[in-house]
Structure 1
Amino acid sequence: MAITKKKLEADISEEFIRLQRDLIGRGPQETRTYILHDMVIVRFKGVLTVEEKHLVASVEGRKLVKHARQLLREMYSKKFEEIVERYTKCKVLSSHSDISTNIGERIEVFVLDKDLEKMLEQGL
């Protein structure tokens, strides 16, 4: 039986939540994954720790939080890509990340070697 797009999106979200709990000690308040053509987009809401929320009140603090999160992302980018590859059975060609310190949200975008959305529609 072929997996549905909705189920795959939910499974990827759950795996990212588990990984973040292991790495940071807490997960995001909400995680949603979207499969769109040859991309997997993961949106994390409520990602800032209590300490980071205090830091982002100043310009210097926002820069510090953003820089620290970028360094962590670089350290763990292979793990993130492995999750996407394991669940999608596609190769990740590139991945991109950004965090909004204004609203405490992070976005991960993974570009795949195949049109995963079309494959799921065709039941592959």
Structure 2
Amino acid sequence: MKCSKRKLEAELSESFIKLQRELMGRGPQETKTYIIQDMVILRFKGVLTVEEKHLVTNESGRKLVKKLRQVLREMYSKNFEEIVEQCTGCKVLSSHSDISTKIGERIEVFIMDKDLEKALEQKD
């Protein structure tokens, strides 16, 4: 880890935007990363495609979009974890994801093998 907490959070946000554009053809409208103790939390705003926005207007469509996004997340989970490990120099113990079809946001939470926030504070 050769940078500040703020810089590392920005680097993670940029890396995820780039990967999502490569994998899915588009990225979120906005991404914010938070490093809190041993967690890296990413919040993606504006993630639904035009088609998904139409689908989520009814219950069966919401379920379909959630299921599709869950399958895609499982397909790409290794890629996501590799980005976090490369940027932080820490090992990812587990990761979790969810999407809100109501507001078009997605979150990713990565549990790290050490208190990354504390390590960054000690470096400063």
Q: TM-score range by the shorter chain?
A: over 0.9
4+ residue segments displaced more than 2 Å: none
**What do residues 70-89 of structure 1 show as CA deviations (whole Å, max 9, x unaligned)?**
00000000000000000000
Deviates more, 1:18-27 or 1:1-10: 1-10
Structure 2 residue 58 is the aligned partner of structure 1 residue 63:
no
For 2:90, what is the secondary structure of its paired residue? coil
Give the corresponding residue for 2:123. Answer: 123
For residue 2 of structure 1, report the CA deviation from its aligned partner: 3.7
What secondary structure does 2:17 align onto? helix
Map of 1:20 onto structure 2: 20
- Is residue 10 from structure 1 mapped to residue 10 from structure 2 by the alignment? yes
Count of residues paired in the alignment: 124
Paired residue secondary structure (2:42): strand
Instruction: State the TM-score, normalizing by the size of structure 1.
Output: 0.98
Residue deviations 1:8-35 (CA, integer Å, cap 9, x gap)? 0000000000001011111100000000
| Alignment-mate amino acid for residue 44 of structure 2 | F
Unaligned runs of 5+ in 2: none
Write the distance in 2 (CA, Å) between the matches of 1:8 and 1:103. Answer: 27
- Counterpart in 1 of 2:78? 78
Structure 1: gaps spanning 5 or more residues: none
Show the counterpart of 2:35.
35
| Matches of 1:20 and 1:52, distance apart in 2 | 16
1:91 aligned residue: 91
Q: Deviations over 1:20-59 (max 9, x none)?
A: 1011111100000000000000000000000000000010
Amino acid paired to 1:21: R
Q: CA deviation at 1:111?
A: 0.1
Give percent identity, aligned residues only.
75
Cα distance in 2, alignment partners of residues 66 and 104 from structure 1: 11
Shift of 1:6: 0.2
Report the aligned-residue RMSD: 1.2
